[in-house]
Amino acid sequence: MDTQAATKLDMYKAVETVCMQHHGEWNTLPEFGSAFSRFAVKVAQLDLLTDETTADPLAREIGKNQNKALIGEHIRKLLFEIDALLRTSIDSFVKFLREEHRDFYSMYVSARTSC
């Protein structure tokens, strides 16, 4: 896994942790829950794809070079989708909640700017 993907994955996991710790502050917004669910699934997929112990058995099955290219392309696609989801949905919902839930907002911004 390249350094940029690893850094982004760390940031995504930090965002996920903050959102889970502050679930009570956004659980009344079903739209946020829906966006967060999609985000969490994509982060889990990215985590699995970048985990060497998961990727190596796949590489042996399909063919190492071909599979590495496919995994790399899927990682790039997931990074794009996760970034778009953060920008278009989750960031907006968190900004909407910032007046009522300042701690959540500041922790989210801190996690978001960690990379």
Tell me how far apart the alpha carbons of residues 112 and 57 are, in angstroms, rounded to a whole number.
33
> Would you state the pLDDT for residue 2?
72
Between the CA atoms of 61, 63, 69 and 74, what dihedral angle is there, to the nearest 10 degrees?
A: -10
**By residue range, what is the domain housing residue 89?**
3-112
Number of domains in the chain: 1
Return the amino acid letter for 35.
A
Q: Are 15 and 112 in contact (CB under 8 A)?
A: yes
The pLDDT tens digits along the chain (115 residues) read 578 888 999 999 999 999 999 999 999 999 999 999 999 999 999 999 888 655 555 555 555 666 777 888 899 999 999 999 999 999 999 999 999 999 999 999 999 998 6
Q: Whole-model pTM? A: 0.84
